[in-house]
């Protein structure tokens, strides 16, 4: 203990303003700082300004979406609405036009749901079994295929898009939801497989060995031991996939017909369609609606989102 | 581990571990057919004069010559270079500074992190459309500043061909710096507390500790972040589509958009393949040295 006190006093020599209020008897943790020191003002000031900058677009989006067009033409975008109206939201959802149809975003929303749910399930199911095989049932050549898969994650999608179009066309599913689900499964595979492989490899090997001794096979161990033990990583994978697939634009445009366009594509078509008067409030309401699902996932999942992103980013 | 079957005769090599092999079929197909096969296919067909449909009539490097003669491609490459260099520098610097601020044992750390990271949950389409609105000269930031009294204030990057790429850069930084901050913060948290204590004992000022001690220690995090940002940069597509559609004119075109337009709209597949092969080469230039350092010969020295 005395060592720590001595150490603290040495450290404090560099900071004379704290000399007076040093606690002699066994200080724990860092020395307390005054709340309004210059250093604190600078740190919190900077962070608050930065936070405002990050929040600004969201704020403007919400404010604009609640105003009527006349008010938008007159006022400034940062001002809160004088008269709150929810009409733009209703229009964005149900009757905004894209040039092809006037169903608003609802069509895109349901398409996105029909794309995201099966894509997430299929891609996670396949990748988790894959990761499990790679972690616990290594066979000759497995590592080679895995390396190709990981390197492939860095190849720009544009390089592989056309060959996939041809493959899907040969299978007769180009332009359908099934085709798009397969595409999402393919491009989600590198990162998800890596995620699951690393997670399963980190589980104690004794469990696996014990199950083997008891005569359990590949699928039994997967369903009875690995799966119940890995719920957190499944949640992380789900967050990763739901936000990733919901936010996808390129695959939606390339691999589906207009009637199956996901929400992002529908949104872009509504906002950037050339004909008619620009209704900025409807556009912003539509933009919020499209961002709402991933934002909801983000705010609900909190730390797990960060973990998923970090796992996705650092390893991918 | 699982291959030792008992009983008579040698087990068939192919049947060993059969379940694992069956389970890996999707991975093997993806890796070999799509990733490897698809890439080779595109590269091969970039030497043909495919138009509406892929045809195997080789024309040598014609497509590449045409590509590098096309003003639109040159603009795309130039834009990508500007966008790439600036977004690398800015996101690394801003991300690191923010992470360093967050690492000062502050209160409300979770709140600040939540705020800084939420744009990353949004798609590029949403990001692009919001910033299109904010940068709208008639109603957006420019008009607000003007109506506040500064009449000659001009800030219309999306309508000025010379600076449009910086307008896209602003949106991209808003969306992506939160992630960089999180990665850097994780890196900073990995630094041993004793390093800080030692530096304090020696009376080294904090900024010096950061620059000469901490940053060199975070080399790995920096390189990984660099690779992530860089491979994202090459793919940039939706943001441009949403924010400017490549305009005004062709001023904000990027290579990924060039590929898409030539493959699916101009029905000039050969051009699209050549352009995408150039993208592949760009990524290879970034990835190969990194992979070598990370997994190859570099390991012995680190």
Largest Cα–Cα distance of chain A, in whole Å?
80
DSSP-assigned states of every residue in A3-53: HHHHHHHHHHHT-GGGSTT---S---SSPP--TT-HHHHHHHHHHHHHHHH
The pLDDT score that the predictor gives to residue A4 is: 40
- For residue range B22-59, what is the model confidence (pLDDT) as tens digits? 889 999 999 999 999 999 999 999 999 888 888 888 88
In this complex, is the C-beta atom of B32 within 8 Å of any C-beta atom belonging to chain A?
yes
Would the pLDDT of B233 be above 80? yes
The pLDDT score that the predictor gives to residue B9 is: 52
Identify the band that residue B93 occupies on the pLDDT scale cut at 50, 70 and 90.
Answer: very high
- E-assigned strand segments in chain B: none
Angle separating helix axes A38-65 and A87-94, nearest 10 degrees: 70
Would the pLDDT of B94 be above 90? yes
List alpha helices for chain A, DSSP H.
Answer: 2-13, 38-65, 69-74, 87-94, 105-136, 142-152, 157-171, 177-202, 205-213, 218-221, 227-229, 231-247, 250-255, 263-272, 280-301, 303-315
Query: What is the pTM for the complete model shown?
Result: 0.85
For an interface test with A, which of B84, B133, B135, B257 has the most A Cβ atoms less than 10 Å from its Cβ? B133
Cα–Cα distance measured from residue B205 to residue B272, given in angstroms and rounded to the nearest whole number = 54
User: Which residues does chain A have within 8 Å of residue B141's beta carbon, measured at their own beta carbons?
Assistant: 77
- For residue range B102-122, what is the model confidence (pLDDT) as tens digits? 988 888 888 898 999 899 999
List alpha helices for A203-249, DSSP H.
Answer: 205-213, 218-221, 227-229, 231-247
Q: What is the mean pLDDT of chain B?
A: 86
* Selected residues 47-66 of chain B with any CB under 8 Å from a CB in chain A: 54
The pLDDT score that the predictor gives to residue A16 is: 44
Q: What is the dihedral of CA A240, A242, A255, B25, to 10 degrees?
A: 60
The pLDDT score that the predictor gives to residue B254 is: 93
Q: Do B23 and A133 touch (CB under 8 A)?
A: yes
CATH of the domain spanning A105-315: 1.10.3720.10
Q: Report in angstroms the alpha-carbon separations of B84 from A89, B75, B266.
A: 36, 14, 27
Determine contact, residues A175/A255, Cβ cutoff 8 Å: yes
For an interface test with B, which of A49, A156, A253, A285 has the most B Cβ atoms less than 10 Å from its Cβ? A156
Determine contact, residues B189/B113, Cβ cutoff 8 Å: no
| Residue listed under structure tokens 């923010």 | B98
The pLDDT score that the predictor gives to residue B279 is: 93
In this complex, is the C-beta atom of A38 within 8 Å of any C-beta atom belonging to chain B?
no
The gap from C-alpha B284 to its chain's centroid, in whole angstroms, comes to: 13
Cα–Cα distance measured from residue A143 to residue A271, given in angstroms and rounded to the nearest whole number = 46
- For residue range B182-204, what is the model confidence (pLDDT) as tens digits? 889 988 888 888 888 888 898 88
Identify the band that residue A21 occupies on the pLDDT scale cut at 50, 70 and 90.
Answer: very low
Cα–Cα distance measured from residue B35 to residue A258, given in angstroms and rounded to the nearest whole number = 27
Domains and CATH numbers, chain B: 62-300 (1.10.3720.10)
Would the pLDDT of A23 be above 60? no
Would the pLDDT of A11 be above 70? no
Identify the band that residue A261 occupies on the pLDDT scale cut at 50, 70 and 90.
Answer: very high
Cross-chain CB nearest to B118 (options A7, A160, A298): A298
Identify the band that residue A29 occupies on the pLDDT scale cut at 50, 70 and 90.
Answer: low
Cα–Cα distance measured from residue B85 to residue B165, given in angstroms and rounded to the nearest whole number = 12
Cα–Cα distance measured from residue A287 to residue B122, given in angstroms and rounded to the nearest whole number = 10
Angle separating helix axes A105-136 and A231-247, nearest 10 degrees: 140
ipTM for the predicted complex: 0.85
In this complex, is the C-beta atom of A299 within 8 Å of any C-beta atom belonging to chain B?
yes
Cα–Cα distance measured from residue A249 to residue A269, given in angstroms and rounded to the nearest whole number = 11
- For residue range A203-220, what is the model confidence (pLDDT) as tens digits? 888 988 999 999 888 999
DSSP A99: S
Would the pLDDT of A274 be above 80? no
Please classify residue A292 by burial: count the beta carbons closer than 10 Å to its beta carbon, then call 0-12 exposed, 13-18 middle and 19+ buried: middle
- For residue range A98-118, what is the model confidence (pLDDT) as tens digits? 777 788 899 899 999 999 999
Q: Is the peptide bond before B62 cis (omega within 30 degrees of 0)?
A: no
Would the pLDDT of A53 be above 50? yes
Percent of chain A with pLDDT over 70: 85
Cα–Cα distance measured from residue B290 to residue B296, given in angstroms and rounded to the nearest whole number = 9
Q: Do B26 and A11 touch (CB under 8 A)?
A: no
Cα–Cα distance measured from residue A84 to residue A61, given in angstroms and rounded to the nearest whole number = 14
In this complex, is the C-beta atom of B42 within 8 Å of any C-beta atom belonging to chain A?
yes
Q: What is the mean pLDDT of chain A?
A: 84
Q: What is the dihedral of CA A10, A14, A15, A17, to 10 degrees?
A: 90
Distance from CA of A159 to the nearest CA of B (A): 5
3-state SS class at A290: helix
In this complex, is the C-beta atom of A6 within 8 Å of any C-beta atom belonging to chain B?
no
Angle separating helix axes B109-121 and A303-315, nearest 10 degrees: 60
Determine contact, residues A298/B179, Cβ cutoff 8 Å: no
* Selected residues 268-297 of chain B with any CB under 8 Å from a CB in chain A: 269, 272-273, 275-277, 279-280, 283, 287, 291
Calculate ∠ Cα B5-B11-B13, nearest 5°.
115
3-state SS class at A256: strand
Domain parsing of chain A, residue ranges: 2-86, 105-315
In this complex, is the C-beta atom of B178 within 8 Å of any C-beta atom belonging to chain A?
yes
3-state SS class at B48: strand
Cα–Cα distance measured from residue B222 to residue B202, given in angstroms and rounded to the nearest whole number = 26
Closest residue in chain A to residue B19, using alpha carbons only? A218
The pLDDT score that the predictor gives to residue A7 is: 40
Distance from CA of B128 to the nearest CA of A (A): 10
């Amino acid at each position: 203990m005395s060592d720590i006190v001595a150490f603290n006093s040495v450290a404090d020599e560099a900071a004379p303003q704290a000399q007076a209020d040093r606690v002699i008897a066994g200080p724990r943790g860092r020395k307390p700082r005054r709340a309004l020191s210059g250093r604190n003002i600078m740190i919190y000031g900077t962070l608050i300004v930065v936070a405002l900058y990050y929040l600004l677009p969201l704020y403007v989006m919400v404010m604009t979406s609640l105003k009527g067009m006349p008010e938008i033409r007159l006022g400034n975008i940062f001002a809160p609405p004088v008269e709150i109206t929810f009409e733009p939201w209703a229009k964005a959802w149900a009757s905004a036009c894209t040039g092809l149809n006037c169903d608003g975003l609802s069509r895109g929303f349901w398409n996105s749901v029909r794309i995201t749910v099966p894509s997430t399930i299929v891609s996670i199911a396949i990748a988790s079994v894959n990761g499990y095989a790679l972690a616990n049932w290594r066979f000759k050549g497995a590592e080679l295929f895995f390396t190709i898969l990981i390197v492939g994650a860095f190849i720009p999608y544009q390089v592989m898009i056309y060959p996939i179009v041809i493959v899907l066309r040969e299978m007769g599913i180009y332009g359908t939801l099934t085709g798009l689900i397969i595409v999402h499964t393919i491009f989600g595979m590198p990162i998800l497989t890596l995620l699951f492989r690393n997670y399963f490899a980190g589980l104690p090997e004794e469990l696996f060995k014990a199950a083997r001794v008891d005569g359990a096979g590949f699928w039994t161990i997967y369903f009875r031991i690995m799966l119940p033990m890995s719920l957190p990583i499944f949640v992380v994978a789900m967050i990763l996939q739901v936000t990733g697939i919901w936010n996808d634009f390129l695959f939606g445009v390339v691999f589906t017909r207009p009637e199956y366009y996901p929400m992002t594509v529908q949104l872009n078509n509504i906002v950037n369609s050339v004909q008619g008067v620009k209704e900025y409030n409807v556009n912003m309401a539509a933009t919020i609606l499209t961002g709402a699902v991933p934002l909801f996932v983000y705010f609900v999942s909190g730390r797990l989102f960060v973990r998923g992103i970090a796992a996705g980013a650092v390893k991918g | 581990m699982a291959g030792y079957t008992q009983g008579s005769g040698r087990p068939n090599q192919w049947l060993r571990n059969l379940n694992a092999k069956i389970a890996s079929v999707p991975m093997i197909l993806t890796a070999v057919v799509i990733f490897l096969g698809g890439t080779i296919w595109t590269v091969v067909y970039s030497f043909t004069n495919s138009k509406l449909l892929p045809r195997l009539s080789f024309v040598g490097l014609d497509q590449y010559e045409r590509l590098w003669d096309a003003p639109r491609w040159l603009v795309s490459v130039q834009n990508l270079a500007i966008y790439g260099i600036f977004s690398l520098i800015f996101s690394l610097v801003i991300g690191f500074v923010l992470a360093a601020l967050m690492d000062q044992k502050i209160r409300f750390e979770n709140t600040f992190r939540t705020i800084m990271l939420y744009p990353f949950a949004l798609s590029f389409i949403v990001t692009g459309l919001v910033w299109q609105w904010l940068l709208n000269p008639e109603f957006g930031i420019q008009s607000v500043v003007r109506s506040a009294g500064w009449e000659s204030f001009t800030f219309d990057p999306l309508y000025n061909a010379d600076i449009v790429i910086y307008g896209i850069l602003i949106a991209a930084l808003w969306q992506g710096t939160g992630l960089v901050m999180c990665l850097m913060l994780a890196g900073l948290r990995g630094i041993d507390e004793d390093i800080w204590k030692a530096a304090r004992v020696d009376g080294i000022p904090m900024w010096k500790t950061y620059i000469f001690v901490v940053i060199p220690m975070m080399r790995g995090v920096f390189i990984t972040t660099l690779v992530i940002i860089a491979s994202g940069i090459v793919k940039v597509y939706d943001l441009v589509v949403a924010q400017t559609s490549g305009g005004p004119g062709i001023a904000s075109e990027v290579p990924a958009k060039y590929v898409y337009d030539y493959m699916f709209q101009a029905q000039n597949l050969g051009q699209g393949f050549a352009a995408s092969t150039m993208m592949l080469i760009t990524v290879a230039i970034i990835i190969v040295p990194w992979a070598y350092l990370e997994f190859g010969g570099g390991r012995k020295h680190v």
